[in-house]
Amino acid sequence: MAPLLLSTLTSSSRGQQPLLLVQSSTAQSCLPVVQYVVRQADSNPIAGSILLFCLLYAPSAFVKDTPENVRVFDWTHNVPGYAEDALDVKEEMLRTVRDAPPGPLTAVIDSVDTLLSDLGSLARTERFLSELLSAIRARPSPSRLVLHVVAPSRIIPALMHTRLSPILLHIIAHPTALILHLATAYLTMPPPLSPPEKFWSVFLPIAERHYESEKLVFGPGGEGSGGREFVVEVLVRGADGPGRRRGVERVLEGWSGIPACGSPCELSQLESLKGLWTRKVVEESGPDPTKNLSFNLNLTIEQQQSRAQVPLPYAHEGKQARTSAAPAAILYDPDSADDIDDDDPDEDLDI
């Protein structure tokens, strides 16, 4: 079965999510996913034209040689208030989308945090993205708006709200060190090695505390960022083609950076996490303590039945047993050293 991320990124059906939110963090970049989206849209003959708006990273971080159907806008040097010929990013981006050639359109914005800084208002940025998404939705399928954001960011809740889009594909990158930490410190394996309900109840609160991942990656013993593989949390909200019911679906998958920018894969295919699956097999099989012994410790069925019929000894067998109707009693067997005297020790007192 193909990974959910692969099926949603390459889908060209009318159920495709028009809004794709790609979330990076300090501990793990999600830029390879954005590269993959641009590459897939370029290789898809029905994807139409692609608009790449670069506000944070240089265009070389997404495309090497600019394809014919990809238009790149390098606005990394456009800083309102500092550049003399600064552009009005909001108006220029809307005009570019509306004037794009007829047909499907994929617009990629990197990053929304920089866009928020340029516009200077959270409400203004939200209204602009809603207007931009409406212009893209008016185009034939498979048109899509791809937003790259770096967490923690105060605009993420607004991007995930249903008032912007009830249908959403949210991709969050996590370092593999976080999964290994949960398996070691919390004894919680990723699904299907553990029940999904148990895993998500532990994973989500820790993943939302971004300093936890930063400490695992950059702290003592951390390997640093820039790994060629990482873990992808995929959240699909709304309908996704025929046969899929409306709702929220959340899965955890892998991203392998070999070759080029990489591609989605199963979590068990990541080299750094294969030890979890090996450990699970060993735990399920377990070592056999009776193996390679010179004598047999196992019992036959007849021996087990005979052992079950042996009566257990009781210290007070034959005495009155305690029942619900009988009063409670203490049964005591005196020891040889006990000094038990039935006489009254106070009989010589004149009371």
- The answer to whether the CB of 164 falls within 8 A of the CB of 158 is yes
pLDDT score recorded for residue 341: 64
Q: How far is CA 131 from CA 127, 138, 289, in A?
A: 6, 11, 68
pLDDT score recorded for residue 126: 94
For the residues of 130-188, what is the DSSP string, one character each? HHHHHHHHTSPSS-EEEEEEEES-TTHHHHHSTTT-SSEEEEEEE-HHHHHHHHHHS--
In DSSP terms, 117 is beta-bridged to none
**SS3 (DSSP) at 25:** strand
| Per-residue model confidence as pLDDT tens digits over 252-299 | 999 987 655 688 888 888 988 888 888 655 455 556 666 677 777 777
CB count within 10 Å of CB 92 equals 14
**SS3 (DSSP) at 97:** helix
Tens of pLDDT, residue by residue, the chain (351 residues): 456 776 677 654 444 678 999 999 999 999 999 988 888 877 777 778 899 999 999 998 888 877 778 899 999 888 877 767 778 889 999 999 999 988 899 999 998 999 999 888 999 999 999 999 999 999 988 889 999 999 899 999 999 998 999 989 999 999 999 999 999 999 999 988 889 999 999 999 999 998 889 999 998 877 776 678 899 999 998 854 444 555 788 999 999 876 556 888 888 889 888 888 886 554 555 566 666 777 777 778 788 788 778 776 665 555 555 555 567 777 777 777 666 666 666 666 766
Residues 107, 109, 115, 116, CA torsion sign: positive
- Residue 251 — φ and ψ, nearest 5°? -135, 165
For the residues of 257-322, what is the DSSP string, one character each? --STT-EEE-GGG-GGGHHHHHHHHHHHH---TTTT-SS-----HHHHHHHHTSPPP-TTTTSPPP
- The answer to whether the CB of 77 falls within 8 A of the CB of 83 is yes
Distance, in Å, from the CA atom of 205 to the CA atom of 211, rounded to the nearest integer, reads: 12
Residue type, 71: R
The pair of structure tokens assigned to 99 is 């004037």
- Report the candidate in 161, 156, 170, 138 with the shortest Cα–Cα distance to residue 17: 170
Q: Tell me which CATH code domain 14-278 carries.
A: 3.40.50.300
Pairing of strands 229-237, 49-54: unpaired
pLDDT score recorded for residue 87: 82
pLDDT score recorded for residue 315: 52
- Residue 172 — φ and ψ, nearest 5°? -120, 130
For the chain, the farthest-separated pair of C-alpha atoms sits apart, in whole angstroms, at 121
pLDDT score recorded for residue 243: 44
pLDDT score recorded for residue 258: 64
Residue type, 328: A
Q: Which residues, other chains included, contact 162 with Cβ-Cβ below 8 Å and sequence gap of 6+? A: none
pLDDT score recorded for residue 204: 93
Residue type, 270: L
